[in-house]
Amino acid sequence: MPIAHAPDGVELYYEVHGDGERVLVLLAGQANNHHWWDSARPDFDPYFRTVTYDHRGLGRSGKPDDDSYSTRGFANDVVAILDHLGVASADVYGTSMGGRVAQWLAADHPGRVGGLVLGCTSPGLPHGLERDREVKRALGQRDAAAARRALLELMYTPEWLATHPGPYRTLGDRDMPPHARRAHLLASAQHNSWDALPGITAPTLVVHGTDDVFNPAANAPLLAERIPGAELHLIPGARHAYFEEFREVASPLVLDFLTAG
């Protein structure tokens, strides 16, 4: 089983797929394991060696019950995996909380990042836009089935849900222990990369669905304007899981950007 060790010793499970010479790291969202990328990853495998991993706190990675959870710390975990693989530099595609992690990876470790893609993500508060109270209420319902349905509708359009009964791999790792779930939530909520964004030197593409209210689409231009030279692409009609439902648009867009040079 491929395991790297974080600077604090936590075990980090990862997988490598694909046949390309270049390496592409795919970073999953909050409280989600590497299966987040199962649908879209095959689009990149012919062109890259793709690396997916389980964030600390879930999946096959270690689950410490401590204060080691932060988006900046998760970026250091990714560096540990690259070191374990002997990879000096990789392209990085992060979505949702994975996009927050990718921001720190590019800001703190510029030599380790080639191309950077930030999907359905945010610079964090106080400068980013938070989801509105109605969305929070829907997700916080005591009725677990209703809350799950609300999350599904934030991820995917009704048309897609009507023809795709699942399984859904973007709704969180059900086996994640409560302490780690709380830690992930706090790490994502405390993310604030605003002051670091202008220092990102990697060529950057920002992607977002226009109908994403889970992580409001207005965050995308904030990132693109803050990161020097960043490109912005909005996918009409897409919600939070644009990379899966709209993969026929999103994957070629990202591939074109990363392989343009």
Q: Pick 243 or 145 by higher pLDDT.
A: 243
Mean pLDDT of the chain: 96
**pLDDT, mean of residues 30-42:** 97
pLDDT bucket at 261, cuts 50 / 70 / 90: low
User: Quick one: which of 108, 92, 131 has its CA closest to 197?
Assistant: 108
Query: What tens digit of pLDDT does each residue of 184-207 get?
Result: 999 999 999 999 999 999 999 999
Whether 222 and 234 have beta carbons less than 8 Å apart is answered as: no
What's the CA gap between 99 and 61, in Å, rounded?
A: 20
pTM of the model: 0.97
Whether 207 and 231 have beta carbons less than 8 Å apart is answered as: no
Q: Is the pLDDT of residue 131 over 80?
A: yes
User: 18: how many CB neighbours lie within 10 A of its CB?
Assistant: 18
